Amino acid sequence: MNKLYSKIKIKDIAEMAGVSAGTVDRVLHDRGDVSKKSREKVEKVLKKINYIPNIYASALASKKDFRFVAVIPKHNPEDYWEMIQNGILRAAEELSDFRVNVEIHAYDIFNIASFCKVMEDMIGSHPDGVLLAPSLKSVTFSYTCKMDELKIPYVFVDSRIEEAHPLAYFGQNSHLSGCLAGKLLLTLNPDIQEIAVFSFYNVGQIPANQISQRMAGFSSFMLEKKESCRLHRITLELGNQEKNEVAMSEIFLKNKSVEGAVIFSSRAYVVAEFLEKYNLKKQISFIGYDLLERNVKCMKNDSIDYLIAQRPDVQGNRGIKALSDHLIFKKPVNVLNYVPMDILIHKNIDFYLDFPNC
């Protein structure tokens, strides 16, 4: 409750350099109007000591407001994107005392025009920073180019576009995460010969980056480790339960030799609930992604064996924080941030859910 606390402050530096606090401040912020002589005196002191500004005092004194915009898909409350959004909103709260405001602009994932409209309006509003969940590669790229020109820093979450120049990326290494899915499936059933690989048919939309890369990773892994294994690709349709049920009956009921299944998008429950309904849980090893409530429920019913999670909340949270690290705290930020591929099974999923990541 006493003494101890001590840190070098601007005033101390001023004293050491034999100038005033104002001059030190001008040097620190490179704001000009400093003679060479004074600048050198200050810089000499700065080199000697390790000045760490009090960011809280700094934020308090600053009059700048920051406006960040997060552009993500429209979604339902139980969706994967909701978790990303939660992370974003949590960051917004944590940073509110630093005069940071975050707006969420949502686009329709099935409608490129909607994405374009959102992006154009967003860029037109001249935000200080942008968090972006990429849509179609070429389209997205044209907007990131515009932001490069306007010097608006942007970060990617979930997936990224190699050609762009984001401040940072937070997301999984999709290819390797597909390999992991393969590895887990082989652990469950080393002798597996036929696997059903599910994906969703996105009306008029090329499959997301993320998902096709996972698929590629999985395929190449299986090809290498178990060439003999046959992969059946089944395309499901969002909301068309009838058709999906037919497709799944075809593969699971008619063809009794399929012993495993994978899905690379977050709606594993669509398949898992089918497995439950027809009592196939034991025969079919099934692996999915992301901790949607319904997925978790299926896992607890043992219709999903493994879920691979990717800390979506952390992605959103750290994405926003990367922007403020760069713009407000002037900290260097890591560009490529691959989030861990968390392996969840019945036995450890509860602790994962209960413990706030970050």
Which residues make up the interface to its own copies (CB under 8 A)?
1-5, 7, 54-57, 59-60, 64-67, 96-97, 99, 101, 128, 172-173, 176, 179-180, 183, 187-188, 337-345, 347-348, 351-352, 354-355, 357-358
Indicate which single residue of 37, 254, 256, 347 sits in contact with DNA (rule: CB under 7 A).
37
Indicate which single residue of 43, 44, 49, 60 sits in contact with DNA (rule: CB under 7 A).
60
Alpha carbon 220 to chain centroid distance?
24
Question: In the bound complex, what is the minimum distance in angstroms from residue 317's beta carbon to DNA?
Answer: 24
Sheet holding 285-289, edge to edge: 230-237, 194-201, 260-263, 285-289, 306-309, 342-344
Applying CB under 7 A, does 302 fall inside the site for DNA?
no
| Residue closer to its own copies (CB basis): 109 or 179 | 179
CA distance 181 to 107: 30
The two three-digit tokens of residue 283, written as one number: 């025969």
Applying CB under 7 A, does 23 fall inside the site for DNA?
yes
CB 103 within 8 A of CB 67: yes
306 bridge partner residues: 287
CB 122 within 8 A of CB 61: no
20 binds, among its own copies, DNA, none (CB under 5 to 8 A by kind): DNA
- Identify which range of 23-31, 160-168, 198-206, 278-286 contacts DNA by CB under 7 A: 23-31
- Residue found by looking up tokens 């413990």 in the block: 355
Question: In the bound complex, what is the minimum distance in angstroms from residue 8's beta carbon to DNA?
Answer: 8
Indicate which single residue of 44, 54, 93, 223 sits in contact with DNA (rule: CB under 7 A).
54
Question: In the bound complex, what is the minimum distance in angstroms from residue 100's beta carbon to DNA?
Answer: 14
Applying CB under 7 A, does 26 fall inside the site for DNA?
yes
Neighbours of 197 (CB within 10 A): 20
CA distance 337 to 319: 10
CB 129 within 8 A of CB 154: yes
Applying CB under 7 A, does 215 fall inside the site for DNA?
no
| Residue closer to DNA (CB basis): 10 or 70 | 10
Residues 6+ apart with CB under 8 A from 44: 17
4 binds, among its own copies, DNA, none (CB under 5 to 8 A by kind): its own copies
Question: In the bound complex, what is the minimum distance in angstroms from residue 294's beta carbon to its own copies?
Answer: 21
Identify the helix (H) or strand (E) that includes residue 174.
Answer: helix 174-188
Mapping DSSP to helix (H, G, I), strand (E, B) and coil, where does residue 155 land?
A: strand
- Identify which range of 32-40, 126-134, 195-203, 214-222 contacts DNA by CB under 7 A: 32-40
Indicate which single residue of 15, 16, 25, 342 sits in contact with DNA (rule: CB under 7 A).
25
**Interaction pattern, residues 62-101, with DNA; x per rule: CB under 7 A:** xxx-------------------------------------
Indicate which single residue of 19, 184, 272, 275 sits in contact with DNA (rule: CB under 7 A).
19
- Identify the sign of the CA torsion 110, 296, 349, 217: negative
Q: How far is CA 211 from CA 101, 174, 217, 274, in A?
A: 31, 7, 10, 22
Across 74-185, the runs of DSSP E, i.e. the strands, are 100-107, 129-132, 154-157, 168-171
**Chain residues that interact with DNA, rule: CB under 7 A:** 7, 9-11, 19-23, 25-26, 28-29, 31, 33-38, 53-54, 57-58, 60-64
